[in-house]
Homo-oligomer: A and B are copies of this chain.
Amino acid sequence: MNRKAGPSKSDVPASRPAVSIHDVAVEARVSIATVSRVMNNPSLVAPKTAERVMEVIKRVGYTPNPFAQGLMTRESRVLGFALPDIHGEFYSELLRGADAESRRQGYHLLVSSEPRSEEPDLRGLAFGLIDGLAVMITNPDAEMVRLARESKLPTVVLDLDMHDRGIDTVLVDNEPGTREGVLHLLETTRPENLYFVGGSEDNFDTQHRARAFTAALTAVGHTPIPGQIAYGSYTPEWGRDWLNLHFQRGPIRNTGVFAGNDEIAIGIIQAAADRGTSIPHDLRVVGFDDTRLAQLVRPRLTTVRVPMADVGAAAVSLLVRRVEDPDAEIKCIRMPTKLMIRDSSR
């Protein structure tokens, strides 16, 4: 409510009480250059002066204007995080980890879900503003990556391996987890009675898990027939539908299912319960992800744990590394999974 620059008359009470580096400089009887140095490289200024400036800064509550700062330094300490969709426990865990890590590293997180109906305008702003971008890609829609590459923005990709194309990558190590789950099922079930019920065939995770499923069965001498592998969507409905379909081929007995994720697994469990199929006696089910659902459902779901928070954190930490050292060597981090054996499989 005051503080006018050049020649002006105060009309409104002024909604900009923002104190600038200039105000600090005047108050501390130094130049703005010195104030700037106090904040960015105190070793360049005499201790006595620095102290005086600091006192003023604190007293008047000075905060550097990030726009002016960004204009010079070309960095905002804001990271972009683009997800295919923000939904469910899964993504919230991911974000949680990313948020914690970026906070730890002194960055902010700009989130954005699938920009199907993108305005290029909007996107432009974000691209110019953020220091780096983490993109989760679960199906072959690599447009964001293309955009990021063109804009030379430091980028990290999740879920799709692009490290041999020069982009840092964070992956969930699907294969060992799947293998472990299948081997667990094989302890009680013959390979020809094992089924993989996945999500969308386009989905990278589903693809990897299906492949690992096949490999695991092949390794024990059984090449799965097409009917043993089914694709649908990551929903309980699909799990129910699959089981009901399966029922038409006769009663279920000595059967094992490796589901593409926990939701599918839960759908299967529910449909089995509705039909009076005993779990785990007649039907053994293993899920994937270990969302909280897995422990809440009865019987408790055996599932492959995916440390989503760690994935988010790893993505951010990789991204920060690249932002701060553009020439760092390209890395690919694989997050290990872990089989959580519960009641649905034994």
When chains A and B are docked, how far (Å) is the Cα of A88 from the Cα of B86? Answer: 11
Q: Do A86 and B92 contact each other (CB < 8 Å), given the known contacts A65-B71, A67-B70?
A: yes
Decide: A65 and B128 in contact? CB cutoff 8 A. yes
* A47 at interface, CB cutoff 8 A: no
Interface segment among A94-102, A157-165, A193-201, A282-290: the answer is A94-102
- B contact residues around A144 at 8 Å (CB): none
Decide: A113 and B92 in contact? CB cutoff 8 A. no
- B contact residues around A296 at 8 Å (CB): 236, 263, 266, 270, 293, 296-297
Decide: B119 and A96 in contact? CB cutoff 8 A. no
- A212-251 contact mask (Cβ, 8 Å, vs B): 1 or 0: 0000000000000000000000001000000000000000
* A141 at interface, CB cutoff 8 A: no
- B contact residues around A186 at 8 Å (CB): none
* A142 at interface, CB cutoff 8 A: no
When chains A and B are docked, how far (Å) is the Cα of A288 from the Cα of B319? Answer: 39
Decide: A124 and B63 in contact? CB cutoff 8 A. yes
How many copies of the chain does the oligomer comprise? Answer: 2
* A15 at interface, CB cutoff 8 A: yes
Decide: B109 and A111 in contact? CB cutoff 8 A. yes
Which one, B66, B109, B119, B125, contacts A128 given CB within 8 A? B66
* A91 at interface, CB cutoff 8 A: yes
Decide: B127 and A99 in contact? CB cutoff 8 A. no
Which one, B107, B111, B124, contacts A99 given CB within 8 A? B111
- A73-90 contact mask (Cβ, 8 Å, vs B): 1 or 0: 010111000000111110
Q: Do A103 and B122 contact each other (CB < 8 Å), given the known contacts A110-B109, A111-B109?
A: yes
Chain A interface (Cβ < 8 Å from any Cβ of B) = 15-17, 63-71, 74, 76-78, 85-89, 91-93, 95-96, 99-100, 103, 106-113, 115, 117, 119, 121-122, 124-129, 152, 236, 263, 266, 270, 273, 292-293, 296-298, 326
Given contacts A63-B128, A68-B71, A106-B122, 11 further A-B contacts (CB under 8 A): A17-B152, A66-B125, A66-B129, A77-B122, A88-B92, A89-B92, A91-B92, A95-B111, A96-B113, A103-B122, A109-B110
